[in-house]
């Protein structure tokens, strides 16, 4: 998985399954564009991603999470609930403002 932390007045944490980088998914009026310059940060292990999620949750961060593995970890970390997950072309994603 890739994690990219974009520093601003409120940090943005982009987390994405590795195999989705650079892909674009469309469904009716919705589009999910997994741009490399936004999502491709540091490649991390499952444990590292889980720790980053837990730490950044305490920092009042915004999260952009895409992919089965990333979403599963976000559920485990308590960042999202099942109700907060959407899908485009069966690709799960969640946007979170804490």
CA-nearest of 48, 27, 20 to 64 is: 20
What pTM, to 2 d.p., does this model score? Answer: 0.91
User: What stretch of H or E contains 36?
Assistant: helix 36-39
Other CB atoms within a 10 A radius of the CB of residue 45 amount to 9
**pLDDT score of 28:** 86
**pLDDT score of 9:** 84
DSSP secondary structure, 38-90, as one string: HH--EE--HHHHHHHHHHHHTTT-EEEEESHHHHHHHHHHTS--GGG-EEETT
CATH code for the domain in which residue 62 is found: 3.30.1860.10
Q: What is the pLDDT of residues 66-77, one digit of tens each?
A: 999 999 999 999
Domain that holds residue 6: 2-97
Q: What is the pLDDT of residues 6-43, one digit of tens each?
A: 998 889 999 999 999 999 999 988 899 999 999 999 99
Counting the structural domains of the chain, the total is 1
**pLDDT score of 98:** 67
* CA 3 – CA 73 distance, rounded (Å): 12
**pLDDT score of 97:** 81
């Amino acid at each position: 998985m890739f994690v990219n932390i974009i520093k601003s007045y409120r940090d943005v944490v982009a987390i994405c399954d590795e195999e989705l980088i650079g892909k674009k998914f469309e469904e009716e009026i919705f589009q999910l564009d997994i741009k490399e310059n936004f999502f491709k940060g540091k490649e991390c292990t499952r444990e590292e991603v889980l720790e980053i999620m837990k730490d950044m949750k305490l920092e009042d961060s915004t999260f952009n999470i895409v992919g089965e593995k990333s979403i599963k970890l976000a559920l485990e970390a308590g960042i999202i609930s099942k109700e907060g997950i959407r899908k485009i072309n069966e690709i799960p994603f969640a946007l979170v403002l804490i």
